[in-house]
Structure 1
Amino acid sequence: MISTRQPVYSHLVEGFGTVAITPVDPAADSALIHGWVTQERARFWGMGEASRELVQEIYEDVDRRTTHHAFIVSRDGEQVALFQTYDCAEDRVSECYEVQPGDVGLHLLIGPSKGAAEHGFTSSLLTVFLGFQFSVGKARRVIAEPDARNEKAIAVLVRNGFATGPEIELPEIDLPEVYLPAKKARLTVYDPRAAAASA
């Protein structure tokens, strides 16, 4: 199935390529996302045992919400990452820190590489996505809460200007439409004002 959704943002990164950000089409993208989230490398995403049908249902639920959004990120037309955002005030992370107006949460999953690892690949995608959030969205800060054991993800965020905060425990969510187990995470914050001051 081919998605009919169009990019909501694109940016040419010199020496890297054109990065495009397109809202997830649950029906068209579920097979791709399922292939990514069920790999061992994506274990911290928490969907390793999910069926393709469940993946589609999860992203249909995200698609219905006004507070949560999912995006496929492409580089020169090749789908390479899944990014999700959420209104921190409407998410379980709000129970773990003092949410400020304009706090937007971020989850990112880089798709499997088809060749050798490329230095700066994730940073280039993340830089474009942050640009999208601050220029098109209403973000004032971006909050990420990777699994506390995911040292690689935390290091990438820090290299891209996120400040590390405390280890937190995201509470269990057990509702008819969604179940999320409790998770120990590392709170990280990207504040463009602080980043500019330290540059």
Structure 2
Amino acid sequence: MHADFPRDYKNMLKQPSLAAYLEGDAITVAEDGRAEGIVLHARWTREDGMRIVEWCKGISPLGQRRAVLAALRAAFGASRDSKSIPLDTGNLHRDALDALRYGGVLTAQNVCMRDAWAQQPDLWLVRSVSIPVAALSYAMTDGARHPRRAPYEDGVVYARDVPEFAHRFTLRTASVAQDLEHLHAWMNEPRVNAFWGEAGTFDAHRAYLERVLSTPHMHPLIGAFDGEPFGYFEAYWAKEDRIAPFAASTDFERGLHMLVGDTRWRGAECVAAWLPSLVHYLFLDDPRTQAVVCEPRHDNARMIGYLKQHGFSSIAHFDFPHKRALLMRVVREAFFDGRHL
């Protein structure tokens, strides 16, 4: 179930992306990574924290907030073990200071908390944060009472640069026109079919993708590195999914099905880039989501191992009609406290 927003409307809401570069102790933040788009120079050291040196162009208080968040991305990226960074707030507009505090990023002691910083959606979600979270209203699907789900947008919905991997990861809503050929090839890979069991014809895969696209509680996604598609993912709301009886799902719990089709992007290093990013997207997409579940086949030891490395815990084995599965779950607090980004 997707929404078609007019292109002009989306462009009107969209803010420039912010790139942050760390050289020595100097951090530069620029709009869309352009030299002429530099908005902030800052300094950061492990010992003294971060200090704003100069605002390079007229920028609104909320723009200052986003620039500070981008600068923190560079600092936290260089200090993976740090849970917090002190911030000298002397050059911050009062409204920017208040926004950072109300968002939970900045404490009363002027310390920026990593777990709260990673839950600010504006650096990673492509949609504008001015679009509100869907109001709470209930519906029934196949006897299950659940919140009405907001439609998802077409196109790219999440983007994250992964410095240690040296690639940009993106998620976009799958489409028949763009992705059917990829999906058809991937589903027919013996390695993939061993776990998905969906090998078939081009028309069968067209019908499969059309069915998922028309299912309100599911969001089919294509993962890409530097614009190169490599995997297919299905995000779903667990409350109205077939997993609900086994997972005791709450109203906003999400679930995942995962498929890496392009063998070039397999392996632990690749998983460490896309798996935390995928979970991150689901937690940012709706702040009411407190857990993400998945149900790998019980003998898929490699995938189960990857999931455990990135914050998931084993809950219980159970039987679907088509497989014996292991229910696994990661909760919001553990994910962000575990510094998986």
Could you say which TM-score interval applies, normalised by the shorter chain?
A: 0.7 to 0.9
**Residue in 2 that maps onto 1:23:** 173
Deviations 1:97-140 (A, max 9, x none): 3112221110111123238x554201210111111111124532
Within a 5 Å distance, the mapping from 1:120-159 to structure 2 comes to: 120-137=269-286, 139-159=289-309
Change (3 A) 1:196 1:75: closer
Cα distance, 1:63 vs structure 2: 0.7
Is residue 310 of structure 2 the alignment partner of residue 191 of structure 1? no
- Tell me the secondary structure at the aligned position of residue 279 of structure 2: helix
Question: 1:78-113: per-residue Cα shift (whole Å, max 9, x none)?
Answer: 111111111111111112231122211101111232
> How far did residue 56 of structure 1 move?
1.1
Residue identity opposite 1:157 in structure 2: L
Could you tell me how far 1:28 is from its partner in structure 2?
2.6
For 2:198, the aligned partner's letter is M
Q: CA RMSD in A?
A: 1.8
CA distance in structure 1 between the aligned counterparts of 2:278 and 2:187, rounded to whole angstroms: 20
Inter-partner Cα distance in structure 1 for 2:338 and 2:267: 27
Q: Are positions 1:64 and 2:204 aligned together? A: no
- Give ranges in structure 2 of 5+ residues lacking alignment: 1-153
Residue 15 of structure 1 aligns to which amino acid in structure 2? Answer: E
Instruction: Quote the Cα distance in structure 1 between the aligned partners of 2:286 and 2:206.
Output: 25
The one-letter code matched in structure 1 to 2:173 is P
Q: How does 1:52-131 map to 2 (within 5 A)?
A: 52-114=202-264, 118-131=267-280
Aligned to 1:46: 197
Q: Counterpart in 2 of 1:176?
A: none
Equivalent pair of 1:27/1:56 in contact (CA under 8 Å): no
* Cα displacement string for residues 26-52 of structure 1 (whole angstroms, at most 9, x for unaligned residues): 23311111111111111101212x211
Does structure 1 conserve the Cα–Cα contact (< 8 Å) formed by 2:239 and 2:252? Answer: no
Q: Give the letter aligned to residue 70 of structure 1.
A: P
Residue 101 and residue 41 in structure 1: after superposition, are their counterparts in 2 closer, same or farther (change >3 A)?
A: same
Q: Which residue type is aligned with residue 46 of structure 1?
A: G
Q: How far apart are residue 191 of structure 1 and its match?
A: 0.5
Does the 8 A contact of 2:238 with 2:244 survive in 1? Answer: yes
Higher relative contact order (CA 8 A, sep 6+): 1
Secondary structure, aligned partner of 1:167: strand
Q: Any conservation in 1 of the 2:221–2:233 contact (CA below 8 Å)?
A: yes
Q: 1:11 to 1:183 in 2, by over 3 A?
A: same
Rg comparison, structure with higher value: 2
Could you tell me which amino acid in structure 2 is paired with residue 145 of structure 1? Answer: E
Distance, in Å, in 2 between the alignment partners of 1:89 and 1:162 is: 19
Tell me if 1:163 matches 2:313.
yes
Indicate the SS of the match to 2:156.
coil
Query: What is the DSSP-based 3-state SS (H/G/I as helix, E as strand, rest coil) of the residue aligned with 1:82?
Result: strand
Q: How far, CA to CA, are the matches of 2:163 and 2:329 in structure 1?
A: 27
Instruction: Classify the secondary structure of the residue corresponding to 1:148.
Output: coil
Report the CA distance shift for 1:31/1:91 in structure 2 as closer, same or farther (over 3 A).
Answer: same
Question: Identity, % of aligned pairs?
Answer: 23
Q: 2-side partners of 1:96 and 1:119: how far apart?
A: 29
Normalising to structure 1: TM-score of the pair? 0.85
Residue type matched to 1:133 in 2? L
* Counterparts of 2:249 and 2:285, CA distance in 1: 21
Shift of the 96–77 alpha-carbon distance from structure 1 to 2, 3 Å rule, reads: same
1:87, 1:104 within 8 Å by CA — same for their partners in 2? yes
* Residues 195 and 7 of structure 1: CA distance in aligned 2, closer, same or farther (over 3 Å): closer
Offset of 1:21 from its aligned partner? 0.5
